[in-house]
Structure 1
Amino acid sequence: MFKFFLGGGGNQEKTDDVGGGGGDPMDLQALPEGCIATVVSLTTPRDAGTMSSVSRSFRSAAESDAVWDKFLPPEIHTIMSSSSPSQPPLVSPSFTSKTKKELFLAVCDNPVLIEQGKLSFSLDKWSGKKCYMIAARALSIVWADTPHYWRWISVPDSRFEEVAELISVCWLEIRGKIGTRMLSPSTLYKAFLVFKSIAGAHGFENQPVEVTVGLIGQEPTKHVVFLDAQRGQTQGQGYHVAGPWHISLFNRRHIPALQSFQSFQPREINEAQYPKERNDGWLEIEMGEFFCEGGEGGELEMTCMEVRGGQWKGGLIFQGIEVRPKRM
């Protein structure tokens, strides 16, 4: 019934004929800015950025507070005003005087610490969906308070005050939980274990680690990953453990010989099973996916376990578990 085009200059970009039939074309740029802003606000932040390059009228509408206010969660100011005392609050008289777009981008690029500094909140720049990272201090880590196995330290490149350094354990078990009501509804999320390797890291070469993601009370998704950031020469050649090794405490002195034997077990390398470097310099390994329908009111649990191999392992620093929307 209607035909739309973007006027301006000699070139006219015509869109689809909506509803079929004829009719005079309608110039979208002739619409009031408020109407254009309403349409843009129904898209995504990424789309809004694209539309702002169409023309001056679209740029004005796409960058208006009316549009970017829709991309911010309704509780944004409550979340930010409850930020940790150790972090300067973004919501200040000088900051609230800025535009909604600037506020949105600030929250995307500068995660806000909440829950007494044990949880960080940010927004995904493409979709505007909520992102969280659970601090290591808020995770359940077996033997975490035993100095012989773990120690709590501060590092300058962590968003949290403390991180967990793995000294040496034979039983690695890390669990994290987050309420699904905190997540954006109708969103497919991915969970990532965020860590880094330090000098002397050991015990993770060729060692499968099981990770799971799922609602408490329901069967989680499970798969195997590897936390060996270096991926030594034998891994580069495509070798791994043929199956889980059940090694007693008494037999751990034979581990080097067993690892040598393992090098003869070939396999295909799946890059998705190995850590990837993040923009902030840390490493991350995907733990699994979860679709948040909204309104479930349950708890999402993520686990990382290596309890079958029996060998001692250490030399990793864990910052936390991040839950963020999957980018399509």
Structure 2
Amino acid sequence: MDLLSTLPEECLSEILQRTSPADASRFATVSKGSKSAADSDAVWVRFLPEDLPEIISRSVSPVVYANNKELYFSLCNSPILLDAGKLSFSVKLRNGKKCYMVGARELVIIWCRDIPQYWKLTSHPDSRFSEVALLKVVCWLEIRGTINTRMLSSDTVYGCYLVFKLGRNPYGLQSANAFVRFTNDEVDGDDERAAILGHFARENDRDRHSRTGEAPVRIGDGLTEIAKVHLQRPDGFEQIGRVSVGRGDGWMEVELGSFYNDRGDDGVVETMLLGREGYQGKSGLIVQGIEFRPKS
């Protein structure tokens, strides 16, 4: 007999609080007594974010659950909408760390609201948000998203992912640049934005000649990671950079970059996708949002 299963339920609960959701779930199958301890609210509240009550208070719809274990798996499998539908929130199955997706309407998409011939905000049956951004045609593709690091789990490496689909006849989306950086301002100054765009131009020129791939650089006081990304599979030349992959929810995603969130006091994280090489026309992109998700 497993000696752990002979301990009082209170002792088992105290031990399991120091394990992981996977460990607690496995231990629940050992015996009837161990299941009671492993399923207890005292165990599963330790796996949930400490500020979850405040997060749930911002939910668009009531969050209904019978116990903390049910709440945990509900948040893993069914993201909730926050702040009048601007964000979605979920937790990572493996460890309960916080995941956020910023909806398309809250992203800065150049010309999306100004010129209806270029972009259209519309509904989509597969989107968790009320609106997605549909690209009709542009030559300059620029999409930016931000999030405050205080909202995220500390001591965690996060990835930034553009979540999208492609329409019936997409074109011009084979190659773009992306970056992620810390900034203290929600909106860049003109000088810093010009420096970033200038670096993109130099990277594109260098890439066309040498195909040397990614090059981390430092702009201002924020680390900026420059990467080549492909929303469509590139054809006709050697593939360099990050390619899009399928998600379990039927959408696609491509990683725009990553960053380490220490104690959540770094201010604002900004990520950006820029496609304007050769000013080629681009069409057929459907943007659901940008997700900030722990990488482990």
Alignment pair present for 1:53 and 2:29 = yes
- Tell me the distance in 1 between the aligned counterparts of 2:153 and 2:162: 20
Partner of 2:229: 225
Q: Which amino acid aligns with 1:47?
A: D
Partner of 2:161: 192
- Tell me the distance in 2 between the aligned counterparts of 1:36 and 1:293: 31
In the TM superposition, residue 73 of structure 1 has moved relative to its aligned partner by 1.7
> Does the 8 Å CA contact 2:163/2:290 hold for their aligned counterparts?
yes
Deviations 1:159-193 (A, max 9, x none): 00111001111111111000000000111111110
Partner of 1:102: 70
Alignment pair present for 1:123 and 2:96 = no
Deviations 1:120-163 (A, max 9, x none): 11111111000000001111111111101101100111000111
Partner of 1:81: 57
Q: Which amino acid aligns with 2:103?
A: A
Q: Which amino acid aligns with 1:68?
A: W
- Which deviates more from structure 2 when the two are superposed, residues 211-220 or residues 139-148? 211-220
For this pair of structures, how many residues does the alignment match?
258
Q: Which amino acid aligns with 2:44?
A: W
Alignment of 1:249-268 (within 5 A): 267=238
Q: Which amino acid aligns with 1:126?
A: R
Instruction: Please give the secondary structure, in 2, of the residue aligned with 1:309.
Output: helix
> Does the 8 Å CA contact 2:87/2:102 hold for their aligned counterparts?
yes
Q: Which amino acid aligns with 1:111?
A: P
- Tell me the distance in 2 between the aligned counterparts of 1:296 and 1:54: 42
In the TM superposition, residue 106 of structure 1 has moved relative to its aligned partner by 1.1
In the TM superposition, residue 297 of structure 1 has moved relative to its aligned partner by 4.2
Q: Which runs of 5+ in 2 are unaligned?
A: 184-220
- Which deviates more from structure 2 when the two are superposed, residues 284-293 or residues 71-80? 71-80
Greater relative contact order, per chain length (Cα 8 Å cut-off, separation 6+) = 2
Partner of 2:261: 292
Structure number with bigger Rg: 1
Q: Which runs of 5+ in 1 are unaligned?
A: 1-6, 9-26, 241-266
> Does the 8 Å CA contact 2:176/2:277 hold for their aligned counterparts?
no
Alignment of 1:208-223 (within 5 A): 208-216=175-183, 217-223=221-227
TM-score, normalised to structure 2, is: 0.82
Question: What RMSD, in angstroms, separates the aligned Cα atoms of the two structures?
Answer: 1.7
Q: Which amino acid aligns with 2:227?
A: H
Alignment of 1:122-201 (within 5 A): 122-145=90-113, 146-201=115-170
Alignment pair present for 1:317 and 2:293 = no
Deviations 1:257-308 (A, max 9, x none): xxxxxxxxxx2x46x7211111111110011211111141410111101122
Q: Which amino acid aligns with 1:116?
A: A
**Aligned-residue identity in percent:** 43
